[in-house]
């Protein structure tokens, strides 16, 4: 378009179109970082894994005490930090490289391993099953605001708790074609899941370039690394599997009661993994993370709805950006026992904060009952919330076309814009509600006077009745089953 207002487009002007949201200043980030380095030099972190202790000892820098405490000098941490990629792109079994983890790219997904499922029809909760995981997968596969899938529930009906993770991954694959974040029982479990993913991605080498999943691994706060967590980390490092080491401190219980203190400790826990993986094999795609929240002081609940979770997570994301690490954060979750106003309020606050902070993977969407209960309806509700949140995140474009001076001139005082070409061309940039009702009173009444809650129920049922994800072909299915059967045999 020919410029009609050249004086409004100066040369070399950076046009900021994205809302700017920061919790910490750079000085504060440095204070937290230096304190975390100090934690690793003075206090250290306990590591219950022999190979890992050997790696630390033979580094010539780290110091290992008799009680398995590992202390690491700042120089080694800083060397290790330089070896991590700033970008990881995940490709789902649908063949799409749809999750490009890099600065300020935000993706939403579920959480994992919830023991119970909330049945809205009866108001009861029951043990989660294989079918529940498939169904959660189908919902995530269908809804456009979800980018990745974690299992949501745990397959409580798997034959053996030691091999449940293979069955769970199979259920996830059946239900969902998008990239994933997976949990595993131990190193051997992760190896099987990786082999299964390699079947679908076309082998180990292809997986390295087009990983299907990120392995979820967590330390035990404060400053403890158990054998299975370390096993998984070392395996991921060896094979170049994207992994996250994501502390889950509860402020006031397993971390200091101050957010800054919790962030210092959490960062020290992360940095230890940064060093360990670097010693094992430099350059693995490691992701920083954390569910940083408070323990509720009336109930002792690890809170998924606290505003402190959102604030601390956003601060943690600021730190991750400063460290040039990819960030795994939290949103769309609730302490409410059912899908009600509380669930909607808490989900909205954490989704919005996580999105504005620019965290890369925002997980736990759809958790209710403080990370115990799974709700498919919550996934459907959150899809609408995330859509609205993302719209806010689009920011305001202020180029000539969007300032629309020409259009205002053409329409003039007392005119209308609704039939102007400019409206026709731009209105689809708006958020289009699917569940939010904006009709007039009469129409709403005529259509059954349905509440949001009822609309959510109907939409959930509609998706479950109709959506069939792309099937896994039979040959691949056979190979996947062989991996699972072999695991069952080893553990029988």
* Binding residues for another protein (CB under 8 A): 414, 416, 418-419, 423-424, 427, 439-443
C-alpha–C-alpha distance, residues 449 and 452, integer Å: 10
Handedness of CA 432, 434, 438, 444 (dihedral sign): positive
- Per DSSP, the three-state class of 88 is strand
Q: Least separation, in Å, of the C-beta of 452 and another protein?
A: 17
Cβ proximity of 326 and 281 under 8 Å: no
For the CB of residue 431, give the shortest distance to another protein in the complex, in Å.
13
Q: SS3 letters for 149-208?
A: ECCCECCCCCCCCCCHHHHHHHHHHHHCCCCEEECCCCHHHHHHHHHHHHHHHCCHHHHH
Q: Which is nearer to another protein, 249 or 387 (CB)?
A: 387
Q: What share of the chain is helix, strand, coil (3-state, %, to 5)?
A: 45, 15, 40
* Closest to another protein by CB, 34 or 444: 444
At its nearest, how many Å lie between another protein and the CB of residue 429?
12
Closest contact distance (angstroms) between CB of 442 and another protein is 4
Report in angstroms the alpha-carbon separations of 311 from 21, 293, 352: 11, 9, 11
**Distance between CA atoms of residues 289 and 216, nearest Å:** 10
> Nearest distance from residue 424's CB to another protein, in Å?
5
Helix (H, G, I), strand (E, B) or coil at 270: helix
User: Minimum CB separation from another protein for residue 456, in Å?
Assistant: 17
Nearest residue (CB) to another protein, 281 versus 420: 420
DSSP 74: H
CA distance 108 to 386: 8
7 vs 416, which CB is nearer to another protein?
416
The three-class DSSP label of residue 288 is strand
Residue closer to another protein by CB (options 15, 408) is 408
Strands 88-90 and 243-245: unpaired
The position carrying tokens 């889950």 is 248
Contact 172, 137 (CB under 8 A): yes
397: left (phi over 0), alpha (psi -120 to 50) or beta: beta
Sheet containing 213-217: give its strands across.
107-110, 361-365, 327-330, 286-289, 243-245, 213-217, 180-182
> Minimum Å distance from CB 445 to another protein?
10
Q: How far is the CB of 255 from another protein (least distance, A)?
A: 47
For 51, residues 6+ apart whose C-beta sits below 8 A from its C-beta are 230, 234
Tell me whether residue 10 or residue 413 sits nearer to another protein (CB atom): 413
Please, which residue, 162 or 423, has the CB nearer to another protein?
Answer: 423
Q: How far is the CB of 416 from another protein (least distance, A)?
A: 5
Nearer to another protein, 441 or 474 (CB): 441
Task: Closer to another protein by CB, 364 or 384: give it.
Answer: 384
Q: Which is nearer to another protein, 124 or 425 (CB)?
A: 425
What is the C-alpha separation between 256 and 265, in angstroms, rounded?
Answer: 8
Q: How far is the CB of 434 from another protein (least distance, A)?
A: 8
Cα–Cα distance measured from residue 179 to residue 95, given in angstroms and rounded to the nearest whole number: 10
**Smallest separation, CB 426 to another protein (Å):** 9
Between 48 and 450, name the residue whose CB sits nearer to another protein: 450
């Amino acid at each position: 378009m020919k410029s009609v207002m050249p004086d409004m487009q100066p040369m070399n002007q950076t046009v900021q179109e994205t809302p700017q949201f920061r919790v910490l200043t750079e000085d504060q980030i440095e204070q937290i970082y230096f304190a975390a380095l100090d934690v690793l030099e003075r206090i250290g972190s306990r590591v219950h894994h022999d190979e890992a202790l050997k790696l630390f000892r033979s580094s010539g820098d780290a110091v290992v005490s008799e009680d398995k405490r590992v202390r690491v000098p700042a120089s080694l941490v800083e060397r290790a930090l330089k070896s991590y990629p700033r970008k990881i792109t995940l490709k789902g079994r649908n063949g799409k490289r749809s999750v490009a983890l890099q600065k300020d790219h935000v993706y939403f997904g579920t959480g994992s391993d919830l023991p119970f499922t909330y049945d809205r029809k009866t108001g009861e909760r029951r043990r989660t099953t294989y079918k529940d995981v498939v169904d959660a997968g189908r919902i995530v596969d269908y809804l456009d605001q979800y980018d990745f899938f974690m299992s949501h529930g745990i397959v409580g009906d798997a034959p053996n708790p030691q091999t449940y993770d293979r069955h769970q991954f199979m259920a996830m694959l059946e239900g969902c074609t998008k990239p994933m974040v997976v949990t595993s029982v131990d190193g051997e479990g992760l190896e099987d899941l990786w082999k299964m993913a390699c079947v679908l991605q076309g082998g180990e080498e292809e997986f390295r370039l087009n990983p299907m999943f990120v392995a979820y691994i967590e330390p035990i706060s404060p400053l403890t690394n158990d054998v299975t967590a370390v096993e998984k980390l070392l395996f991921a490092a060896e094979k170049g599997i994207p992994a996250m080491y994501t502390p889950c401190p509860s402020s006031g219980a397993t971390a200091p009661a101050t957010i800054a203190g919790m962030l210092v400790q959490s960062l020290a826990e992360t940095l230890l993994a940064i060093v360990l993986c670097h010693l094992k094999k430099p350059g693995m795609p490691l992701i920083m993370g954390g569910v940083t929240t408070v323990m509720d002081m009336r109930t002792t609940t690890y809170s998924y709805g606290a505003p402190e979770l959102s604030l601390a997570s956003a601060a943690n994301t600021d730190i991750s950006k400063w460290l040039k690490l990819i960030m795994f954060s939290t949103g769309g979750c609730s302490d409410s026992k059912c899908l009600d106003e509380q669930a909607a309020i808490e989900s909205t606050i954490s989704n919005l904060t996580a999105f504005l902070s620019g965290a890369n993977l925002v997980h736990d969407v759809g958790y209710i009952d403080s990370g115990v209960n799974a709700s498919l309806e919550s996934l459907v509700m959150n899809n609408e919330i995330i859509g609205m949140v993302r719209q806010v995140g689009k920011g305001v474009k202020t180029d000539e076309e969007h300032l629309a001076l020409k259009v205002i001139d053409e329409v003039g005082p007392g005119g209308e814009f609704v039939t102007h070409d400019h409206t026709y061309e731009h209105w689809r940039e708006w958020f289009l509600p699917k569940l939010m009702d904006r009709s007039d009173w009469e129409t709403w009444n005529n259509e059954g006077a349905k509440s949001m809650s009822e609309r959510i129920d109907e939409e959930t049922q509609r998706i479950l009745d109709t959506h069939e994800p792309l099937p896994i072909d039979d040959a691949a299915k056979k190979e996947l089953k062989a991996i699972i059967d072999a695991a069952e045999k080893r553990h029988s």
